[in-house]
């Protein structure tokens, strides 16, 4: 690590040790704070003022950030920054204009646009023919979460097709889904970067069998593949004209903009998919051009550094106050935790500080009636990202006002808390007996000074969704650079895959268990016993 960075980390640690470092309310006494800590990128407004990032902390964080934008430029130049997989990281090329991104000697943009043109022509044909009413996307992780999140956010009645997402190898998922589908009218996309992922291939064989049972040899016409592995897609029997490729410089969790997003375009229409890409491009332009002190992805990353490394907060909640964004927290879980759940630096040394926090979330107001209790009164503060959408796409104005009021109220309650004077006065006004007031008081106090970031979108459409998703992608990039970890590999998923492969034959009827720890051996025996009954 450069000496400058070490000094900046030390300065940050010093600020975090100072008394009152996590207090927010005193900072809020500055009438200019809300404006000074509110930033805009594209159509998104981000209020970062309800955090304990003071002016001094912000200065120290920006010192830490020297070098992040240079790393960003290396990514944009197509350098192989994913060193452990020896790959470039070029998801920005997927939404960039023609002629903008290169990967080594190759014109990455040319290939991207050739695929986009083919996808558009394919959508036009499918929509024009009108034969297919439903599209089933079979994929998992990045080949499921991003497209599913976006299709759920953007689909409206009257759009060209219904989209379904089959990800879990649990047969119950297909068992439920298949009953609503007519094989003759269902287009099946097998979405897999590698075309080797066990769950996806198991489901692909299952669904191909269902198509073949109903349609015989004609089933091939209903099959589409989205992959980098063109040999495997051919072996699986997908006609070449129905294969849409992409390259290894697209990470799975950043792939919804690639051929992997075809289900979005089929379900919602090409214009919607194109607007999604345009929105992401708008955020890319901000990320690529805004100076450090105004660069929203970087500022959000720095706020997270303060929470995780300064204050030692190990988790973060994502609370979209919009039902259409119900799968947004799940998508971010992969984007953030698969990218930043790392314990060694790019150079292979232990990271000397905590890295990616646990990310979880649910749409508001549902979250308020499940886990928000812990955010308000639990022992460890959990920073929250609250996403508000000013204008709904429905006419139920009263509901929407309630939704917005609740989102604002959560952020306000986390900040201001509730002290003994206030709680006593309220209970006394209700005529609660003095002894009961004192007994209940500790339970009814809210500590306050709990951080949140509020993002406001004017409306949720394909363009603003593209901006929002790209904002978080770039935030993750910045955190990877700040923590000096590779945010683009995911070796941590491998061991479980290998062990599952080894366990699979041992679960066959009558099979013997191999060598395992005593707990696993006992569980295998119990499963054999229960399944033999």
Binding site for ligand F6P (CB under 6 A): 139-143, 192-194, 197, 200, 252-253, 338, 490, 493
Alpha carbon separation from 311 to 17, 50, 221, 284, 303 (Å, rounded): 9, 15, 56, 30, 11
Which member of 205, 369, 428, 526 is catalytic? 369
Distance CA 492, CA 513 (A): 25
Closest distance of CB 233 from ligand F6P, Å: 12
**With respect to ligand F6P, which residue has the nearer C-beta, 401 or 497?**
497
194/377 with CB nearer ligand F6P: 194
Catalytic residue among 6, 175, 438, 497: 497
DSSP category for residue 309: I
- Closest to ligand F6P by CB, 167 vs 410, is 167
Query: How far is the C-alpha of 87 from the C-alpha of 250, rounded, in Å?
Result: 9
C-alpha 324/C-alpha 475 separation (Å) is 22
Rounded least distance, CB 495 to ligand F6P, Å: 12
The nearest distance, CB 85 to ligand F6P, in angstroms, is 11
Residue nearest to ligand F6P (CB): 252
Closer residue to ligand F6P (CB): 146 or 364: 146
The answer to whether residues 52 and 27 touch, using CB atoms and an 8 Å cutoff, is yes
Q: How far is the CB of 414 from ligand F6P (least distance, A)?
A: 33
Nearest to 43 by CA among 470, 335, 525, 520: 470
Which CB, 253 or 475, lies closer to ligand F6P? Answer: 253
- Start-to-end Cα distance in the chain: 60
Residue 307 is given by DSSP the state I
Nearer to ligand F6P, 263 or 367 (CB): 263
Q: How far is the CB of 102 from ligand F6P (least distance, A)?
A: 24
In the complex, minimum distance from the CB of residue 206 to ligand F6P, in angstroms, rounded to a whole number = 16
Q: Determine whether 338 is an active site residue.
A: yes
What is the C-alpha separation between 147 and 254, in angstroms, rounded?
10
CB 44 within 8 A of CB 453: no
Could you tell me if residue 42 is left (phi over 0), alpha (psi between -120 and 50 degrees) or otherwise beta? Answer: left
Q: Is 475 a catalytic residue?
A: no
Task: Please state the closest distance from residue 147 (CB atom) to ligand F6P, in A.
Answer: 11
Q: Which is nearer to ligand F6P, 45 or 232 (CB)?
A: 232
Q: Which of 199, 336, 338, 362 is catalytic?
A: 338
In the chain, helix, strand, coil percent, each to 5?
Answer: 55, 15, 30
Joined tokens for residue 185: 């009218």
Q: Distance (Å, rounded) from C-alpha 437 to C-alpha 423?
A: 9
- 376 assigned to active site: no
Any residues with CB less than 8 A from the CB of 126 and at least 6 apart, and which?
A: 132, 161, 187, 266
Just list the catalytic residues: 338, 369, 497
């Amino acid at each position: 690590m450069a000496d400058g960075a070490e000094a900046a980390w030390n300065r940050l640690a010093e600020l975090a040790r100072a008394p009152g470092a996590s207090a927010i309310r005193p900072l809020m006494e500055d009438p200019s704070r809300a404006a000074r800590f509110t930033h805009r990128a594209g159509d998104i407004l981000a209020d970062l003022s309800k955090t304990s990032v003071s002016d001094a902390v912000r200065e120290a964080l920006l010192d830490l950030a020297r070098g992040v934008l240079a790393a960003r430029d290396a990514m944009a130049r197509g350098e192989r920054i994913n060193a452990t997989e020896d790959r470039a990281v070029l998801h920005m090329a997927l939404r960039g204009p023609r002629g903008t991104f290169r990967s080594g000697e190759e014109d990455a943009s040319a290939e991207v646009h050739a695929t986009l043109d083919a996808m558009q022509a394919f959508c036009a044909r499918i929509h024009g023919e009108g034969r297919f009413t439903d599209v089933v996307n079979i994929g998992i992780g990045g080949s499921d979460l991003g497209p599913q999140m976006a299709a759920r956010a953007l689909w409206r009645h009257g759009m060209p097709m219904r989209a379904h997402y089959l990800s879990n190898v649990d047969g119950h998922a297909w068992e439920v889904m298949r009953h609503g589908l007519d094989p003759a009218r269902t287009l099946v996309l097998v979405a897999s970067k590698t075309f080797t992922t066990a769950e996806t291939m198991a489901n692909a064989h299952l669904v191909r069998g269902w198509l073949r049972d109903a349609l015989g040899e004609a089933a091939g016409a209903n099959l589409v593949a989205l992959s980098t592995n063109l040999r495997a897609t051919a072996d699986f029997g997908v006609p070449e004209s129905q294969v849409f490729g992409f390259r290894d410089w697209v990470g799975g969790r950043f792939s919804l903009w690639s051929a992997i997003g075809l289900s979005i375009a089929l379900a919602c229409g090409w214009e919607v998919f194109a607007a999604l890409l345009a929105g992401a491009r708008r955020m890319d332009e901000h990320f690529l051009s805004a100076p450090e002190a105004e660069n929203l992805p970087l500022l959000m990353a720095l706020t997270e550094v303060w929470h995780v490394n300064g204050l030692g907060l190990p988790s973060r909640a994502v609370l979209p106050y919009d039902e259409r964004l119900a799968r947004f927290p799940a998508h971010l879980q992969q984007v953030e935790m698969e990218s930043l759940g790392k314990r060694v630096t790019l150079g292979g040394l232990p990271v000397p500080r905590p890295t990616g926090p646990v990310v979880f979330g649910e749409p508001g107001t549902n979250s308020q009636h499940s886990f928000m209790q812990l955010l308000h009164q639990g022992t460890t503060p959990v920073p929250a990202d609250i996403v508000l959408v000013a204008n709904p796409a429905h006419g139920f104005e009263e509901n929407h006002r309630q939704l917005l009021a609740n989102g604002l109220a959560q952020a306000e309650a986390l900040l201001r808390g509730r002290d003994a004077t206030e709680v006593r006065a309220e209970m006394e006004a209700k005529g609660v007996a003095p002894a009961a007031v004192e007994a209940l008081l500790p339970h009814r106090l809210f500590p306050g000074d709990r951080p949140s970031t509020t993002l406001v979108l004017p409306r949720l459409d394909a363009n603003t969704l593209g901006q929002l998703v790209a904002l978080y992608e770039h935030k993750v990039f910045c955190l990877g650079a700040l923590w000096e970890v590779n945010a683009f590999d995911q070796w941590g998923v491998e061991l479980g895959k290998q062990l599952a492969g080894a366990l699979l034959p041992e679960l066959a009827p009558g099979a013997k268990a191999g060598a395992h720890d005593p707990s696993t051996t006992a569980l295998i025996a119990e499963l054999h016993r229960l399944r033999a009954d």
